[in-house]
Amino acid sequence: FQSKPNSGRHFLHIPGPSNVPDRILRAMDHPTMDHRGPDFGKLGAQVLEKAKAIFKTQSHVVIYPASGTGAWEAALVNTLSPGDRVVMCETGWFAHLWNEMAERLGIVADFVKTDWRRGADVDAIGQKLRDDKSHAIKAVCVVHNETSTGATSRIAEVRAAMDAAGHPALLLVDTISGLGSMDYRHDEWGVDVTVSGSQKGLMLPPGLSFNAISAKAIEASKSAKLTRSFWDWKPMLAANATGYFPYTPATNMLYALDTACDMLLEEGLDNVFARHDRMAEATRRAVRHWGLEVQCEDPRHFSSVLTAVRLPEGHSANALRATILEKFNMSLGNGLGQLNDRVFRIGHLGDITPLQLVGALGGVEMGLRAAGIPHQAGGVQVAMDYLGGNA
Ligand code: PLP
């Protein structure tokens, strides 16, 4: 289905769902299998093991047939009890949604504000923990890559602040849009629950989500009192021990996940991350040349997954995106929440090459002109100079 009569492939440059490589599409193209038969057990065990390498954990990864929102809920209901206090950080729209979910579940969240132009405020988190002498705070929840703003939070520093405060709270991290694109280390960074999803750096269609779970989180789940059923880790981990699931798994998506892990590991995670860094740097150079502003103000927090671009006052980002879709058959991400119509988001994640990025930036530059947005032409040239090694 294509809404426009344009020939050629649609350019999907939203910050996820990302483009699915042909090799993964072929991997999914199998007859449906018996999810209780021996072949499935082998696939399940294999893919659960491979996923650990992507999260950089020796502990457990569970896979839900759900979008990322489900895995958010799983992280909360398995570790917390009604009335528990947590610290959350308002990095943007997704942090806001996770906070709303926590409140709805009966968790009392202390929401550390930012201006949506940077990652989590590590000093503020450390201060809250130092002030909490009675250890009433049960968890710190941080969004690693805030997809609404293109700002990343430095999880190792959050961990260090928690350790420096000598505080036993759990660390819950959403890397739904960071995993498989930017460096992420579940074990080394002492994360207790990592939440992720299939449709971003893993290059899969939407439909799977994940919890990577530390031993401390499993221990916490034994006394956590929030109501849980579908999301309960206990039956999941019991079934996973032999490669099976407590309910019908998304079998064909697991073939795809198996292949996605192979692709990422064959390229080498460090190479994957460096490729994303290059795409992001090229994009920011183009944006600066156009004379537009990147939403993330702190270079230490720049995301390598997406770049959110602010439009000058009085210009509509939604109108620009509509022009680009209409004229050039490319989808860009919209501004979310308070950024609606103020920014557009360029996704440069997953199965992406320099040539694709140059095409996408070309679409943006032509769109800026077509929509009458004041800018300096030549941003694509600047990106090409950088990507071609001439910058
Ligand atoms: N968290 C982040 C950082 C996201 O980018 C998204 C989706 O884009 C979500 C949570 C919600 O995930 P889903 O839409 O898969 O439920």
* pLDDT per position as a tens digit, 60-100: 999 999 999 999 999 999 999 999 999 999 999 999 999 99
- 3, pLDDT greater than 80: no
What's the mean pLDDT when you consider all of the chain? 97
Res 7: pLDDT: 78
Q: What does the alpha-carbon distance between residue 136 and residue 139 come to, in Å, rounded to a whole number?
A: 9
Nearest atom, ligand 1, residue 147 CA: 5
Q: What is the pLDDT of residues 257-292, one digit of tens each?
A: 999 999 999 999 999 999 999 999 999 999 999 999
| Tally of residues, the chain | 391
Do 232 and 349 have their domain in common? no
**6, part of any domain:** no
Q: Looking at the 3D structure of the chain, how many domains does it have? A: 2
Q: What does the alpha-carbon distance between residue 223 and residue 184 come to, in Å, rounded to a whole number?
A: 28
Give the residue among 108, 77, 19 at the shortest CA–CA distance from 224: 77
**4, part of any domain:** no
Read off the tokens for 371.
Answer: 């929509």
Nearest atom, ligand 1, residue 143 CA: 3
Cis peptide before 5 (omega within 30 of 0): no
Do 37 and 128 have their domain in common? yes
**66, part of any domain:** yes
- 54, pLDDT greater than 80: yes
Q: Measure 92 CA to ligand 1 centroid, in angstroms.
A: 12
Q: Which domain holds residue 59?
A: 22-265
CATH of residue 275's domain is: 3.90.1150.10
Do 231 and 296 have their domain in common? no
Ligand 1 in contact with 205 (CB < 6 A)? no
Ligand 1 in contact with 93 (CB < 6 A)? no
- The crossing angle, in degrees rounded to 10, of helices 317-328 and 354-370 is 110
Q: Measure 197 CA to ligand 1 centroid, in angstroms.
A: 7
- With 0-12 CB in 10 A as exposed, 13-18 as middle and 19+ as buried, what is 60? buried
Ligand 1 in contact with 175 (CB < 6 A)? no
Percent of the chain with pLDDT over 70: 98
Do 192 and 74 touch, CB atoms closer than 8 A? Answer: no
Mutate to test the pocket of ligand 1, among 177, 210, 231 (most ligand atoms within 8 A of CB): 177
Do 88 and 228 have their domain in common? yes
Q: Measure 199 CA to ligand 1 centroid, in angstroms.
A: 9
- 240, pLDDT greater than 90: yes
Phi, psi of 70 (to 5 degrees): -65, -40
Mutate to test the pocket of ligand 1, among 99, 100, 147 (most ligand atoms within 8 A of CB): 147
Res 150: pLDDT: 98
Q: What does the alpha-carbon distance between residue 14 and residue 132 come to, in Å, rounded to a whole number?
A: 40
Ligand 1 in contact with 68 (CB < 6 A)? yes
Nearest atom, ligand 1, residue 144 CA: 3
Amino acid sitting at position 287? V
Do 256 and 324 have their domain in common? no
Q: What is the pTM of this model?
A: 0.98
Q: Measure 201 CA to ligand 1 centroid, in angstroms.
A: 12
The ipTM assigned to this model is 0.99
**174, part of any domain:** yes
Q: Measure 213 CA to ligand 1 centroid, in angstroms.
A: 19
Nearest atom, ligand 1, residue 145 CA: 3
- 243, pLDDT greater than 70: yes
Q: What does the alpha-carbon distance between residue 250 and residue 261 come to, in Å, rounded to a whole number?
A: 16
Give the residue among 134, 119, 125 at the shortest CA–CA distance from 162: 125
Ligand 1 in contact with 174 (CB < 6 A)? yes
Q: What does the alpha-carbon distance between residue 117 and residue 149 come to, in Å, rounded to a whole number?
A: 7
**1, part of any domain:** no
Q: Measure 84 CA to ligand 1 centroid, in angstroms.
A: 24
- 4, pLDDT greater than 70: no
Q: What does the alpha-carbon distance between residue 278 and residue 348 come to, in Å, rounded to a whole number?
A: 10
Q: What is the pLDDT of residues 294-341, one digit of tens each?
A: 999 999 999 999 999 999 999 999 999 999 999 999 999 999 999 999
Tell me which DSSP letter residue 109 carries: E
**331, part of any domain:** yes
Res 6: pLDDT: 62
**5, part of any domain:** no
Do 228 and 255 have their domain in common? yes
Do 244 and 152 have their domain in common? yes
Ligand 1 in contact with 197 (CB < 6 A)? yes
**283, part of any domain:** yes
Res 339: pLDDT: 98
